[in-house]
Amino acid sequence: MSDIYAVRTNQKLNFARLHIKALEQAEEASQWSKHARIESYHESVLFFMASGYAALLREVAENYNLEVDSVHRFSDLTEQLERTGQESPEVTELEQLEKDQGSWLHKMLSAYEACWQASSFRQVKSEADSSISEIHVLQINPDHAEDKDVLAEYKGWLQAFRDLIERLRAGMQEW
């Protein structure tokens, strides 16, 4: 078994880290394009984290000798495991995180999905239902007073993602 998807997962998380660093620099800048740069980094960080999650799903699929090329989302992974009669503690943990509306993973994926939508006003959602990042990427002209909070949220998600990967990989190595 190669570790190509583990490398890909790491690569995407490194890209997210680099874009978070660039986001910090953009927030400190005083250029006329400051807000456009900030908004572009908001979306690129989400893209790289979502891409890292997709790579992680394929990494798990590879570990269970599944058809990696047909795993594009969580449901693809679970369907293949069911077809082959395999159980995966990694998938159980991912499922819990995806279903829990308060989890970092659920909020990150929702914020990424919001990149494909648009709104000209701030949507009122409860904190449990969404993240500040999701609200920001939905808006055409977001309130930049919350930029520090979005940055903190991204940093927290990236660390939680790294912790998750470390746990899952440790479990997969035991087998």
**Tens digit of pLDDT for each residue in 123-152?**
544 555 567 666 556 555 566 778 898 999
Per-residue model confidence (pLDDT) at position 9 = 97
Residue 163 one-letter amino acid: D
pLDDT in tens, 68-89: 999 999 999 999 999 999 999 9
Per-residue model confidence (pLDDT) at position 135 = 59
| The two three-digit tokens of residue 18, written as one number | 């680099």
Per-residue model confidence (pLDDT) at position 147 = 84
Query: Rounded CA gap, 111 and 41, in Å?
Result: 13
Query: Rounded CA gap, 143 and 117, in Å?
Result: 17
Sign of torsion over alpha carbons 16, 134, 57, 96: positive
Residue 65's SS3 state is coil
Q: What parts of the chain have a pLDDT lower than 50?
A: 1, 124-125
Per-residue model confidence (pLDDT) at position 60 = 96
Per-residue model confidence (pLDDT) at position 33 = 85
Sign of torsion over alpha carbons 123, 160, 24, 37: negative
Q: What is the CA radius of gyration of the chain?
A: 17
Per-residue model confidence (pLDDT) at position 128 = 52
Burial of 92 from C-beta contacts in 10 A (0-12 / 13-18 / 19+)? exposed
HSE-up of residue 149 (Cα within 13 Å, Cβ side) = 12
Per-residue model confidence (pLDDT) at position 31 = 84
C-alpha distance across the termini of the chain, in Å: 13
